[in-house]
Amino acid sequence: MAAEIQNSNPTILNEADLPTRQRPAPPRKPGVYDGGIFAPAFPSPPHLSDPLAVSTYFSAESDSDDDNLMEEPIDEQEIYDLVSTISDPEHPISLGSLAVVSLPDISIKPSLPNNPDSPLRTVTVLITPTITHCSLATVIGLGVRVRLEQSLPPRFRVDVRIKEGTHSTAEEVNKQLADKERVAAALENGTLMGVIGKMLETCQ
């Protein structure tokens, strides 16, 4: 962590205006069977009380619906939802609210252009530091990379880079973020991983 805050007055976007599919679920209204004299006659299904129990409450049709949901492709909005709630290492504010990550700067493309039917995909996230000389740009990039590598299936390759023209040492930072050996060595640093862990605590 820096000894003093480098950008003490960053521009902050209203979180309610950020693009997302993640909406808080409405509170559940109490049902007629939630308690009272009906409770013993209507026990909870076993799959709710025992996570290892095999449920017989779902039909084959619902299983098919679940399969269709599982096959829904991961898109740029989902990637944004994964990384926008990461906290900035200097401020208790999300990367989305600081516009360090934004939806237009996220792309998903085939990893093998000559074989577009391959399931391999490359997720590219361009980062815009709040100031052009931010010394924590590499830490932010590592945080985004760790979050995506922990959340996405193995068929996704992660490419995190500083957006062109937004940082004075973008080329050097990008080399660090693209070098697998340097990234692996950095992630073995306990102090650095403590900072990244703190950044990821706010992820939804």
Per-domain boundaries in the chain = 37-69, 74-200
The pLDDT assigned to 44 comes to 47
For β-strands 121-127 and 106-110, DSSP reports them as antiparallel
Per-residue confidence (pLDDT) for residue 175, from 0 to 100: 96
pLDDT (0 to 100) of residue 82: 96
Q: Among 124, 65, 128, 123, which Cα is nearest to 96's?
A: 128
Name the pTM for this structure. Answer: 0.69
Residue 107 neighbours by CB distance under 10 Å: 13
C-alpha angle with apex 143: 103 to 25, nearest 5 degrees? 55
pLDDT along the chain (204 residues), means of 10: 60 78 57 47 47 44 49 88 96 94 97 91 96 94 96 96 96 95 92 95 87
Distance CA 97, CA 20 (A): 12
- Please tell me the class of the 74-200 domain: alpha beta
